[in-house]
Amino acid sequence: MNVEPLVPVTEQDIQRYEEDGVVCLRGMFDSDWIERMRAAIERNLANAGTLAIEYAEGKSPGRFLGDMFMWTRDEDFRAFVFDSPAARIAQKIMRSQKVNFFYDHLFVKEPGTLVPTPWHQDQPYWPVQGSQICSVWLALDRVSRESSGMEYVKGSHKWGKWYKPRGFDGKDRYPEAQGETIPDIDQDRAKYGFLNGDMEPGDCLIHQAMTIHGSGGNVTNHTRRRALATRWTGDDATYDTRPGTFQKIREPGLRTGDPMDCEMFPRIAT
């Protein structure tokens, strides 16, 4: 299993991330990682954690599962955090001296699951401030727009807007959260530039935490969409105790303004 990215992260990749808010890097994880994490995901699907949410429950055929903090209870997810190329990719893309692991987030959208992933920014959900905050979204299946491939609003991380988080299942899970209501992106698509594309297993998307993104349902009848998103913070990130952020597996023992270094958010690369 590769520890370093199979393909070097280039200055052009970094500049694209900085300008667009997202970059797709091809073939960064070897087949051993893909097979190991597929097996780990199957175990999780059979025995999801306490923070798991069935986003399609009561709304759609199929299954759309989200789960978090798998690394705290599964050795394969933990190995991915500490031993895979993900931390080095995040460190390079963010031009950061150090990288802290924030948390892992699993998304499985089975064939025929019509529930979309709503347009959103990540950072309003999270108890963290700063600009060096990103996600590495690893494809574990072939991904197309039809199978619920991710779509990004180009440059939206530069809008200076903070949009209120909302539950992917349509529930108001963040009543104390602050922010504007996100605009109806789909009703005015001509107004925006979009970035999307097909992916192969081992490809990954790296997006900045304020970039607006979402995806449609998985309208295929044969293609699963399994994706593992790992979240990373860099030099300028600090903890934020504001109300209205997501539920954590436990409290990290940090105060507002503290650096992210702690047992719950370990420093992986320096």
Domain boundaries, the chain: 11-234
| Cα 96 → chain centroid | 19
Q: What is the mean pLDDT of the chain?
A: 97
Q: Which fold has domain 11-234?
A: Jelly Rolls (2.60.120)
Q: Please give the pLDDT value at position 73.
A: 97
Look at 172 and 149; give whichever has higher pLDDT: 149
Q: Which of 84-88, 154-158, 173-177 has the lowest mean pLDDT?
A: 173-177
Cβ count within 10 A of residue 240:
17
Q: CA-to-CA distance for 174 and 251, rounded, in angstroms?
A: 18
- What's the whole-model pTM score? 0.97
What would the mean pLDDT of 167-181 be, rounded to a whole number? 91
pLDDT band at 46 (very low <50, low <70, confident <90, very high): very high
